[in-house]
Amino acid sequence: MEALIDNDLKESKFKERLKNIGPGALIAAGFIGPGTITTCTRSGASSGYTLLWAMLFSTVATIIFQEMSARLGIVTQKGLGENIREKISNKVLRGIAIFIVIVAIFLGNVAYETGNLVGGSMGLSILVPSIPNTVWATLLGLITFVLLWSGNYKKIENILIGLVLLMSVTFFTTAIVSKPDLGAIIKGMFIPKAGANDWLTIVGLIGTTVVPYNLFLHASSVSERWKSAEDLKSARIDTVISIGLGGLISMAVIISASASFHGTGVEIDSGAVMAQQLEPLLGSWAKWFFGIGLFSAGFTSAITAPLAAAFATTGSLGLDSDMKGSKFRAIWIIVLGVGIVLSAFGMSSSPTELILVAQAANAVILPIIAIFLIFTLNHKDLGKYKNKLWNNVFGLFILGVTLVISYRSLLSFVDTLKGLFI
């Protein structure tokens, strides 16, 4: 009898934890975009399982930083942008910080939004090839507009949770069916190894997972869900489960690509190539599995990027962050509008190298935003909820590793950038 009661209690606690899933799913949805699928596919195809350790590191780093962001948002009931504005007392430094945030987050997300819509449209084009990418991209943009205009946070959250779960099913299935080498997977996850040509890919994997704009999105979204510091435990569970699942989805893409492409000499122009290459394993189901996964990745990021840009910009400038406010809407409309226009005119078929450069640039921006985050979480106003010593040690360690890896990849980054424009 006691055993049955204990089991019922455990089941009840598990269900309660699942109910708390929310803002963390937005973060997972935000970093699993077309760039992630492309970067992970390229990683598996070119390096096999050897760079899985980089994705594991990125996932742990994301959990640590996003926990800080969620804690800041719940305790202060304000976003990261608002906290940066309020807690940097020096006017010059505050102005520089706000400028960096707007340039890095707002303008960066304007650029990313086009790729998000095109990535989602590529997935739909795999399923229905008779309709052009530009039509699908425009349609996805309009649907995104309707969702964001509603200003209904709960509705947006539920849709993103569903799409993240859909991605997990599709990408886990492709990983299992590809019959990977389990020994090589374990070795690749826990024994760091990198060749001379791997550093740009490693930075890309970090840059596509530990996403700067998600730090702003998380701090703002948790205040929509939770109103008391007593909810910190629920927020932490949400963060670990959601982001952990997102990391596993990214690893599943690397594993599938490694099992299917590594050593074959197949050129990976985009994540969509995976659908064609998986046909011998999945048959006609290949296009459905990968098409749905790619669509979900693009559509979720198409929603979160404008939303994060609006939260970051309004918070930094001291504007109203109400999702139904005119200024808030104006910012995400600009981000989404540029994406719709560029994708509608077919100006967004980004080559793989450009996506990798964009992810590497994300990793370069990350240390700056992470410093702002750690600074605000050490402010005396947070009282007992400010960073403990271990929070700062882990945060600075991750920051240091990111800087070292970024430095190692600097020459590759510059050479690739030159190749695109010269």
Is 32 a domain residue? yes
The whole-number average pLDDT for the span 84-96 is 91
How far apart CA 291 and CA 272 sit, in angstroms, is: 7
The whole-number average pLDDT for the span 57-70 is 95
| Structural domain boundaries enclosing 404 | 24-191+198-261+284-421
Measured CA to CA in angstroms, residue 101 lies from 81, 145, 180, 370 at distances of 8, 24, 41, 11
Task: Using alpha carbons, select from 208, 278, 275 the residue that is nearest to residue 247.
Answer: 208
Is the distance from CB of 204 to CB of 39 less than 8 angstroms?
A: yes
Is 182 a domain residue? yes
Residue showing tokens 């374990």: 186
pLDDT band at 224, cuts 50/70/90? confident
Task: Answer yes or no: is pLDDT of 14 > 80.
Answer: no
Average pLDDT, the chain: 84
Is 407 a domain residue? yes
pLDDT tens for residues 299-325? 999 999 999 999 999 999 999 888 999
Where helices occur in 318-379 by DSSP H, the ranges are 326-344, 352-376
Task: Using alpha carbons, select from 342, 338, 316 the residue that is nearest to residue 327.
Answer: 316
How far apart CA 159 and CA 338 sit, in angstroms, is: 23
Residue showing tokens 């540029």: 338
Is 9 a domain residue? no
Is 10 a domain residue? no
pLDDT band at 351, cuts 50/70/90? very low
Task: Answer yes or no: is pLDDT of 231 > 50.
Answer: yes
Q: Which residue has the higher pLDDT, 9 or 176?
A: 176
CB atoms within 10 A of CB 389: 7
**pLDDT score of 410:** 55
How far apart CA 189 and CA 52 sit, in angstroms, is: 5
Is the distance from CB of 198 to CB of 408 less than 8 angstroms?
A: no
Is the distance from CB of 172 to CB of 249 less than 8 angstroms?
A: yes
Is 1 a domain residue? no
Task: Answer yes or no: is pLDDT of 287 > 70.
Answer: yes
The HSE-up count of residue 65 (CA atoms within 13 Å, CB side) is 33
The whole-number average pLDDT for the span 266-279 is 62
Amino acid letter at 32?
Answer: I
Task: Answer yes or no: is pLDDT of 134 > 50.
Answer: yes
The HSE-up count of residue 296 (CA atoms within 13 Å, CB side) is 25
In sequence order, the 6+-apart residues with CB closer than 8 A to the CB of 192 are 53, 54
Residue showing tokens 């890896």: 405
Task: Using alpha carbons, select from 400, 421, 72, 50 the residue that is nearest to residue 235.
Answer: 72
Q: Which residue has the higher pLDDT, 138 or 288?
A: 138
Where helices occur in 179-325 by DSSP H, the ranges are 182-190, 199-207, 212-225, 232-261, 273-277, 279-282, 285-317
How far apart CA 28 and CA 242 sit, in angstroms, is: 6
Is 11 a domain residue? no
Counting the structural domains of the chain, the total is: 1
Is the distance from CB of 274 to CB of 352 less than 8 angstroms?
A: no
pLDDT band at 109, cuts 50/70/90? confident
pLDDT band at 268, cuts 50/70/90? low
Task: Answer yes or no: is pLDDT of 411 > 80.
Answer: no
CATH code of the domain containing 230: 1.20.1740.10
The pTM (predicted TM-score) of the whole model is 0.87
Task: Answer yes or no: is pLDDT of 409 > 60.
Answer: no
Task: Answer yes or no: is pLDDT of 1 > 60.
Answer: no
